[in-house]
Amino acid sequence: MTRPRTLLVDDPVLERSPFGSSHPFRAERGALTRALLEACGALHQDEVADVERLDERLLGAVHEQAYLEALIRAGRGERVDDARMFGLGTSDCPVVPGMHRVAMRAADATVSAAELVASGAAQRAVHLTGGLHHAHRARASGFCLVNDLALAIEHLTRRRGLRVAYVDVDVHHGDGVQGIFWERADVLTVSVHQSGRTLFPGTGAEDEIGAGAGRGFAVNLPLAPFIDDAGYLAAFDALVPTALSAFGPDVIVLQAGADAHWRDPLAQLSLSGDGLDAVYGRVIDLAERCCEGRMVVTGGGGYDAWRSVPRAWARLWARLAERELPDELPETWRRAWGERLGVSLPTRLREGTLPDLDARATERAASHALAVAKRVAARLTPLWRRED
């Protein structure tokens, strides 16, 4: 029997940023990655799935109605007197005409990906422009208006009856998703991120473990700046596999932010392209071990938008779809998209230049991360066993 395919969920609307062309959030990253995959022969047309409209009742299960109404009014150009109370009209989430439509379409796409996996139409489904993990129930935050991840998880759990492990490797803490499922025992949230002591949103400490029925089901691994590939992977291995094995998910939802890369201008971790690829590979391997490979995958952060992100996400797709990518990137892709974006695109898949890291700083960060991972595992293992 042929295994269900890996599918990419995409739509032309998703090339637009909800915040306009001058904002750091560049939605074109998804289209740029898709074009790269197509140019390499690693993505075929029959592997691209359409976006379906989500049931609006699902929105109300995740976001408060007053916030949704404020978002829609703002996007329509109507006056919203209490906009900032809802996180709108800030430097992170400026009010732009049509912003609500773009945000809703991104949510549609991630929920569509979730349904493809839940229905068995795909083993793995990917939406690169999703991963908007900072949106809260009643406010926008951190470039995120509608929490597409929480909507997909709500669909998988409440409507499909599945246990979901959410793994977030974006450099920023997945605070919105964690908060929405803070008291839920059918959702495990795992976030590996730069410590909130040094980076937005200021949350994700190791003692944030959930509450009520969800106590023990929020797992956080905060990292010090300048951690490199080896230190990151050692800490990941000391905590994440144990957590997922104990939880026993039916499906893994991965937020595959690429902003832990050393070139990212908005953070201070020091992973290479190979390091990001290894992290993604570990989550894929865990899905194979824990839930027969079932995954819903989104992009997320990544603000070195033209060099680091498309290469990282192309390698992610290649792992998911079991494809090979050439190291020399197609000139047709570089020329067409370089002219369109007004940038110089990389010539090779793998980096030729790596950062000159301070050995003592990376060693300290690695030692700290491993100690945190071991403390979190020791604290939560008894709670996981209790639930068993």
Q: pLDDT tens digits for 62-110?
A: 999 999 999 999 999 999 989 999 999 999 999 999 999 999 999 999 9
Q: Strand 48-49 to strand 164-168: parallel, antiparallel, or no bridges (unpaired)?
A: unpaired
CA angle 243, 146, 157 (to 5 degrees): 40
Q: What is the pTM of this model?
A: 0.97
Order the strands of the 48-49 sheet from edge to edge.
48-49, 5-9, 122-127, 295-298, 251-255, 164-168, 187-194, 218-223
Direct distance between the N- and C-terminal alpha carbons of the chain, in angstroms, rounded to an integer: 33
| 155 a catalytic residue | no
Whether the predicted pLDDT of 228 surpasses 90: yes
Other beta carbons within 10 angstroms of residue 179's beta carbon come to 19
Q: Is the pLDDT of residue 1 over 60?
A: no
Question: Distance between CA 251 and CA 39 in Å, rounded?
Answer: 31
Tell whether the model's pLDDT for residue 2 goes beyond 70.
no
Give the residue, 248 or 385, on which the prediction is more confident.
248
Cβ 29 vs Cβ 299: under 8 Å? yes
The pLDDT of residue 387:
47
DSSP per-residue codes, 23-54: SS--THHHHHHHHHHHHTT---GGGEE---PP
> Domains (ranges, CATH) in the chain?
8-387 (3.40.800.20)
What is the overall mean pLDDT for the chain? 96
The closest alpha carbon to 162, from 115, 194, 217, belongs to 115
188 forms bridges with which residues in the sheet?
165
Contact present, 14 and 48 (Cβ < 8 Å): no
Question: Rounded mean pLDDT of 320-345?
Answer: 97
Return the structure tokens found at 111: 């929920």
Q: Is the pLDDT of residue 388 over 70?
A: no
The answer to whether 299 and 256 have CB atoms below 8 angstroms apart is yes
Under 8 Å between Cβ of 175 and 201: yes
**Which pLDDT belongs to residue 204?**
98
Catalytic residue selected from 134, 136, 172, 193: 134
Q: What whole-number distance in Å separates Cα of residue 53 and Cα of residue 86?
A: 24
